[in-house]
């Protein structure tokens, strides 16, 4: 199993450009998450999904959109990138929250917006 994979690993955008980050998991997990990590601020939840076709807002959702059309994929979109969105983005998944489960993280995407 590959676990959780993220595409791309690095990206540089200009202000106003758009892009989509792809997260894929092959563990048949129900729950998927998008976080951003900034120096000194830990991981902050952007959006999450409790199953195929569902999404919900996290702590810092503004400027981002998500979609979960297939159970194994969770897409994070930036419609008009801003320098404040320069960060490292992590995707995570977990089987279900019905029982307490660890979250499995991807390797991250480093995004720079100039």
Partner 1 sequence: EDQVTQSPEALRLQEGESSSLNCSYTVSGLRGLFWYRQDPGKGPEFLFTLYSAGEEKEKERLKATLTKKESFLHITAPKPEDSATYLCAVQAVSNTGKLIFGQGTTLQVKP
Residues that bind partner 1 (CB under 8 A): 4, 31, 33, 35, 40-45, 48, 50, 58, 90, 92, 94, 97, 100, 102-108
9: number of Cβ within 10 Å: 11
HSE-CB at 110 with a 13 A cutoff on CA atoms is 2
Distance (Å, whole) CA 37 – CA 85: 10
Nearest distance in Å: CB 13, partner 1 = 20
Question: In angstroms, what is the minimal distance from the CB of 58 to partner 1?
Answer: 7
Residue whose CB is less far from partner 1, 56 or 80: 56
CB of 95 to partner 1, least distance (A): 11
Nearer residue to partner 1 within complex by CB, 16 or 107: 107
Q: How far is the CB of 33 from partner 1 (least distance, A)?
A: 8
- Rounded distance between C-alpha atoms, residue 69 and residue 63, angstroms: 20
């Amino acid at each position: 199993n590959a676990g959780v994979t993220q595409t791309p690993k690095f990206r540089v955008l200009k202000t106003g450009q758009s892009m989509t980050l792809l997260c894929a998991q092959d563990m048949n997990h129900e729950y998927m998450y998008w976080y951003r990590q900034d120096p000194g601020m830990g991981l902050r939840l952007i959006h999450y999904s409790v199953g195929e076709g569902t999404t919900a807002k996290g702590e810092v959702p503004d400027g981002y959109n998500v979609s979960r059309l297939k159970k194994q994929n969770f897409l994070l979109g930036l419609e008009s990138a801003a320098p404040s969105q320069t960060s490292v983005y992590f995707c995570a998944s977990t089987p279900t929250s019905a029982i307490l489960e660890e979250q499995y993280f991807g390797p991250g995407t480093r995004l720079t917006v100039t």
